[in-house]
């Protein structure tokens, strides 16, 4: 179920919220956790009923394994942790990588081993990583004695279930446990509705507009066409902007929906194209994935504790596996390898003191161009298509323009102006993430003087926009 659709915004969300609000106000003895859990089940299972057994078995198996880790000694607990990790990686490996692995095996050994390509369960990459982190923390700290209903909502909470953020249990579980004790907060609801409206606008008006520019260019290059430099840069920058607005839109809608139900989700997106280095880019782009890769992969590999050379190897491996997490394909592997190389160059330049001599504006431009080149491998359907696109971007040819239309250049400049010239929504609405005390946030929000009427009026405008706009495309991160 997509957020920016009539069925979600004007059927599922109002019904769920009305039931949640009435019970949180009038029937305190009935758990609102149960309401949110039921709504989350419905949200996921209605369009994804064929994969109901995957997510339900994942929840129950991981919960039972976490209980066993708590009950056993460290040695036995470590074995159970290994079993749980293998279970989770096996499930995601079967659905996401089995076909790709069989294709590689057949190419290398000239065999005929056939594995049918599976329909990927929606959100499997996100809820799998979330639960692996939960098992690791259960083994290391033993601070995960939660109820099954609370754990289930931690995994299934519908604002973040489909495309993140990857929420740590310490961020969400205490909020879930206190839902029944808290009074309904209209300040949080109003800010949440504003986040939702901005996200819907970004998705429908901005992200999908840039998709209509980028898609024909990439389709052409994937089919073997030779592009002009103008066309190739048009497609690459259009996709760069599409992905930016698409992912930031989902992140803001997730935060907004969480706030409407009294739950704060972590920041996952913070103006990444304003970064002056690749290191900074990864502190701003998909922030929860970056934190997961750092805490549960880079640091266990040794981090920066075993010398410079080992640090660079660990950085490269982390990004390589991060690329593979996004999808089973050579393009994602090259994208991860490219970012791993970028990070090595970035750290080495800092070590040598070279980066301090570059003006910040120049550093931002260089970082942005490097990111644009990497996104080509991320977007192209084939490695050949990506390479052809890169060649067209750097080679002066006499190939005539096929896709360039002057008004599209206006949209590109508008998009770049928004990205580089405007503050992000989190700053505008004073949202600092899940770790900020509620009292501090509430005081800041009161300064905004946002009244329910204004928030609902914006919601109505968004509704009218949806009624007259084409059906929105699927969020890009739904595919991961």
DSSP element (H, E) containing 69: helix 52-71
User: Which are the contacts of 385, defined by CB distance < 8 A and separation ≥ 6?
Assistant: 218, 221, 222, 223, 224
Among 18-27, 121-130, 261-270, 271-280, the least confident range: 18-27
pLDDT of residue 454: 59
Does some domain include residue 175?
yes
Same domain, 164 and 229: no
Mean pLDDT in residue range 393-421: 86
Mean pLDDT in residue range 78-84: 94
Q: Catalytic pick from 169, 326, 339, 347?
A: 326
Mean pLDDT in residue range 456-477: 65
Does some domain include residue 245?
yes
Same domain, 115 and 217: no
pLDDT band at 22 (very low <50, low <70, confident <90, very high): confident
Does some domain include residue 189?
no
DSSP code, position 29: T
Does some domain include residue 449?
no
Counting residues of the chain whose pLDDT is more than 90, the rounded percentage is: 50
Closest of 238, 275, 31, 271 to residue 152, by C-alpha: 31
pLDDT of residue 114: 67
Does some domain include residue 440?
no
Asked if 239 and 218 count as a contact pair (C-beta separation under 8 A), the reply is yes
More confident residue, 116 or 334: 334
Counting residues of the chain whose pLDDT is more than 70, the rounded percentage is: 89
pLDDT of residue 453: 55
Beta bridge mates, 269: 285
Among 24-38, 216-230, 301-315, the least confident range: 24-38
More confident residue, 421 or 445: 421
Last residue of a domain, one of 421, 450, 465: 421
Does some domain include residue 46?
yes
Query: Whole domain around residue 329: which residue ranges?
Result: 198-421
Mean pLDDT in residue range 437-453: 50
Residue 438 has pLDDT above 90, yes or no: no
pLDDT of residue 220: 92
What pTM was computed for the model?
A: 0.90
Torsion of CA 166, 172, 173, 174, to 10 degrees: 160
pLDDT of residue 437: 44
Asked if 389 and 238 count as a contact pair (C-beta separation under 8 A), the reply is no
Beta bridge mates, 51: none
Distance of CA 183 to the CA centre of its chain: 30
pLDDT of residue 128: 93
Residue 251 has pLDDT above 60, yes or no: yes
Residue 371 has pLDDT above 90, yes or no: yes
Same domain, 232 and 177: no
User: Which are the contacts of 308, defined by CB distance < 8 A and separation ≥ 6?
Assistant: 351
Same domain, 221 and 315: yes
Closest of 142, 150, 190, 183 to residue 34, by C-alpha: 150
pLDDT band at 334 (very low <50, low <70, confident <90, very high): very high
User: Into how many domains does the chain fold?
Assistant: 2
Same domain, 98 and 134: yes
pLDDT band at 439 (very low <50, low <70, confident <90, very high): very low
Residue 447 has pLDDT above 50, yes or no: no
Does some domain include residue 266?
yes
Over the stretch 340-364, which tens digit does the pLDDT of each residue have? 999 999 988 877 766 677 788 999 9
Same domain, 157 and 236: no
Same domain, 91 and 140: yes
pLDDT of residue 470: 66
Catalytic, 150? Answer: no
Same domain, 242 and 364: yes
Last residue of a domain, one of 182, 213, 236: 182
Mean pLDDT in residue range 16-30: 79
Last residue of a domain, one of 182, 212, 244: 182
More confident residue, 185 or 371: 371
Please state, in angstroms and as integers, the Cα–Cα distance from residue 116 to each residue in 49, 104, 387, 452, following that order.
Answer: 20, 14, 28, 51
Instruction: Give DSSP secondary structure letters for 203-269.
Output: IIIIIHHHHHHHHHHHHHHHTT----HHHHHHHHHHHHHHHHHHHHHHHHHHHHHHHHTT-PPPP-B
Same domain, 90 and 236: no
Mean pLDDT in residue range 141-155: 89
Same domain, 275 and 414: yes
Q: What is the mean pLDDT of the chain?
A: 86
- The Cα–Cα gap between 478 and 474 comes to 7
Does some domain include residue 465?
no
Same domain, 160 and 280: no
Tokens at 454, concatenated:
């204004």
Same domain, 205 and 300: yes
């Amino acid at each position: 179920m997509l957020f920016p659709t009539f069925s979600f915004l004007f059927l599922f969300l109002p019904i769920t919220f009305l039931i949640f609000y009435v019970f949180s106000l009038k029937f305190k003895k009935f758990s609102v956790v149960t309401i949110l859990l039921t709504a989350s089940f419905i949200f996921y299972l209605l369009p994804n009923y064929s994969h109901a057994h995957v997510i339900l078995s994942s929840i129950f198996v991981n919960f039972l394994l976490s209980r066993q880790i708590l009950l056993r000694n460290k040695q036995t607990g470590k074995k159970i942790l290994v079993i749980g990790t293998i279970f989770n990686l096996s499930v995601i490996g079967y659905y996401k990588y089995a076909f790709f692995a069989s294709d590689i095996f057949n190419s290398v050994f000239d065999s005929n081993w056939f594995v049918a390509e599976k329909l990927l369960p929606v959100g499997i990459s996100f809820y799998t990583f979330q639960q692996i982190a939960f098992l690791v923390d259960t083994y290391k700290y033993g601070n995960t004695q939660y109820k099954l209903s609370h754990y289930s909502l931690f995994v299934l909470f519908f604002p973040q279930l489909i495309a993140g953020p990857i929420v740590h249990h310490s961020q969400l579980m205490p909020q879930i446990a206190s839902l029944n004790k808290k009074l309904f907060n209209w300040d949080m609801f109003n800010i949440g509705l504003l986040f939702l409206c901005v996200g819907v606008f970004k998705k429908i008006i901005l992200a999908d507009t840039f998709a209509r520019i980028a898609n024909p260019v990439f389709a052409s290059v994937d089919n073997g066409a030779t592009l002009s430099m103008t066309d190739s840069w048009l497609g690459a920058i259009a996709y760069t902007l599409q992905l930016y607005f698409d992912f930031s839109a989902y992140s803001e809608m997730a935060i907004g929906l969480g706030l409407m139900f009294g739950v704060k989700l972590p920041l996952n997106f913070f103006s990444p194209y304003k970064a002056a280095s690749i290191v900074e880019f990864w502190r701003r782009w998909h922030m929860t994935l970056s934190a997961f890769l750092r805490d549960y992969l880079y640091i266990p590999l040794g981090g920066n504790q075993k010398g410079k050379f080992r640090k660079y190897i660990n950085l490269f491996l982390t990004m390589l596996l991060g690329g593979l997490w996004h999808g089973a394909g050579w393009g994602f592997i090259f994208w991860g390898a490219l970012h791993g190389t970028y990070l090595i160059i970035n750290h080495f330049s800092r070590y040598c003191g070279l980066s301090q001599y570059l003006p910040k504006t120049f550093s931002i431009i260089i970082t942005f161009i490097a990111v644009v080149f990497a996104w080509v491998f991320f977007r192209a359907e084939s490695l050949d298509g990506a390479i052809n696109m890169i060649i067209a971007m750097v080679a002066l040819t006499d190939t005539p323009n096929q896709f360039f239309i002057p008004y599209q250049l206006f949209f590109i400049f508008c998009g770049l102006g928004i990205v580089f010239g405007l503050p992000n929504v989190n700053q505008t609405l004073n949202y600092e993430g899940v770790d900020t005390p509620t009292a501090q946030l509430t005081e800041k929000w009161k300064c905004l003087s946002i009244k329910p009427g204004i928030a609902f009026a914006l919601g109505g405008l968004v509704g009218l926009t949806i009624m007259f706009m084409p059906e929105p495309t699927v969020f890009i991160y739904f595919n991961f």
